[in-house]
Amino acid sequence: MDREGFQANFVCDAYDKEEMWYLVEEQIFQQNLIEDRYDFNGRKYKLDKVGDAVLRHHRDSFEVESGPLKFYFSPSKTLGYDFLDIVDKVNSSMNWNHWVERFAQRPGFFQAFSYDENYRYWQGAYDLDTYERHGRSHAHLRKRKRRMPEPLDNLIIAIEDNPGRYVIRTEHEKQIGFVETVTAEMWLGPEFWPRTGADRDAVLNCEFLQVEEMEHDIIHIQTGYRTFTEDTGEQAELQNKMRRLLYPNTVDMPLRF
């Protein structure tokens, strides 16, 4: 079974690591996700001891892993947003909507999406050697040279053709960023619209998506799929239409590498 992931993005400094961990811990209790041990920084802890360990650790980020779940939080002014990434390694049946409902209760949340981890990986893999090491054909994929001076301009896969590509877009001077991606289920907060240039009313009235308004000015998008897993056919067409709707200012921008 492919692993499922979820990423939530926040304006910079919306949460510190302690606040974010205790929010994660709250959801672990509420959704009955408690495990016997949690791995953090090379040691194992009971759930009620993880928060103290995270607080004592010198980094502003944390990565905590239990049997089925992994939680990674990172603040990043370089990217222009902070994020929490969760990987469900076993069940792929998490109700991510519960997480978003909690995030939305305070300012700062602006974007979240669930995804198939294997699909996202291959939609972003541009090195030919990666395909060859895994015995995976790339003959059908368009190639281009890397946008680097010689001799670094080697041939790579043109992932800008991939409907499920994951692209970080950042205005470095303003320290404002977002992830340009489309997935089968997404949540968009108030800050999403000025960052991406998307038209909120156009999204609300879109006829090819299931769109609903949630509390705290969150827009919830569903497509009828649990996750996208195909880059051809109906799924590819839907992803391309969604990307043009949600990221009108960047969808045609070339990738930097």
Looking at the structure, tell me whether residues 157 and 171 fall in a common domain: no
Give me the number of domains the chain comprises: 3
Regarding whether 147 and 47 lie in a shared domain, the answer is no
CA dist., res. 255 & res. 257, Å (int) = 6
Q: Does one domain contain both 100 and 213?
A: yes
Same domain (yes/no): 53, 154: no
Q: Please give the pLDDT value at position 257.
A: 87
% pLDDT > 70, the chain: 99
The dihedral formed by the CA atoms of 16, 18, 20 and 21, expressed in degrees to the nearest 10: 150
pTM of the model: 0.95
Assess whether pLDDT exceeds 80 at residue 91: no
**Could you tell me which of 146, 165, 118 has the C-alpha nearest to residue 5?**
118
Q: Which domain holds residue 45?
A: 17-66
In the numeric block, which tokens belong to residue 164? 């499920």
**Domain shared by 211 and 252, yes or no:** yes
Q: Over the stretch 158-174, which tens digit does the pLDDT of each residue have?
A: 999 999 999 999 998 88
**Average pLDDT of every residue of the chain:** 95
**Tokens 């045609």 identify what position?**
252
Asked if 28 and 65 count as a contact pair (C-beta separation under 8 A), the reply is: no
* Final residue before a domain boundary, out of 66, 88, 103: 66
62 and 110 in a common domain: no
Which pLDDT tens digit goes with each residue over 208-234?
A: 999 999 999 999 999 999 999 999 999
pLDDT per position as a tens digit, 184-194: 999 999 999 99
Residue whose C-alpha is closest to residue 62's, from 73, 50, 53, 52: 73
